Amino acid sequence: MNVGRVIPAALGDAALAYAALGVKVFRVRRNKTPYANCPRCDKQSSLYVKHRPEECRCGVPTCHGFWAATTDPALIHKWWTEEPDANIGAPCKPNGWAVIDVDPRNGGDKSFRALEERVGVLPGTVMQLTGGGGLHMPYLSPGFDLPGEPFPGIDFKHNGYILLAPSVHASGGRYRWAGDGLYRAPATPWPETLLPRKERRPAPAPRQAPRHRFPSAASSAKRPGGGKLWTVDDLVQHVMDSAEGGRNRSFYFAACRAHELAEQGLINLYDAEAGLLSAAGAVGLTDSEARASFDSAATRPGDRGWAA
């Protein structure tokens, strides 16, 4: 049974309470930026030295607050004694969480309704009200990276962090746990319907004959530069790994490969279509443009190269 715990109203006491429950915390300014007190690590300082925060060698535990998140009560007491009004940050992945962050001010409520219409009602989990009308839905981490902003007004926070109750929102409202106001550790796995297709458990599906659109050479099933054949999972991952600004091109490339491989009988075109359309939605392409691109790929000449 997931027993609820009372979280004190004072921020410093609340931070200590979370730490006692095994939640790693750090200080966050009211503008949601972590503290970085060491001049060598503060970009506004003339003494700043460029480096990766996770490789910091300054030895000051308050630098790079996100990376300094801890359950050490002595350090937490020191932090909030120095800054009693500091908000409480919690890094998601180090705490084993992945969080759906819904921001209605940016259309998150509409996106969330559309999301559930598309994938079904998401499994229940603990929820936190942000104080500004938003909502946090923490789940257990799926163990691999997720797209950061898959839909307007919705973030999948996994590599980042969230604020914890009773932190103060920019609007002046306080964060609080929904329902009875008690904290309960997230215990529900990340929804399988929100996983990239390659990470989902395989489900039986009727096999259908591939649509034959054009001929292609068997050698074109090779990866760029040779190597093993492309699979549906490879093509889906190619779309999921695409950088902003190149997502349409990556999707079209994968769609072309899918049609060619299906023509050779190496993959099932309908499996590929479902996987690629799901990946397109995850990286921010609309369903209509993804479907149009997928269909367009079927009519492109088959003597094309493999440059991604």
In this prediction, residue 197 carries a pLDDT of 54
Q: Do you find a cis peptide bond into 206, omega within 30 degrees of 0?
A: no
Q: How far is C-alpha 70 from the geometric centre of its chain's CA atoms?
A: 22
In this prediction, residue 224 carries a pLDDT of 40
Judged by DSSP in three states, 21 sits in coil
Judged by DSSP in three states, 194 sits in helix
Q: Supply the DSSP symbol for 64.
A: S
Average pLDDT by stretches of 10, the chain with 308 residues: 89 98 92 73 78 72 72 92 94 94 92 90 95 94 77 89 95 94 95 68 43 35 49 84 81 87 83 82 79 80 41
Model-wide pTM > 0.75: no
d(CA 78, CA 81): 5
Exposed/middle/buried for residue 67 (C-beta within 10 Å: 0-12, 13-18, 19+):
middle
In this prediction, residue 204 carries a pLDDT of 42
In this prediction, residue 77 carries a pLDDT of 95
In this prediction, residue 184 carries a pLDDT of 96
In this prediction, residue 33 carries a pLDDT of 78
d(CA 306, CA 230): 11
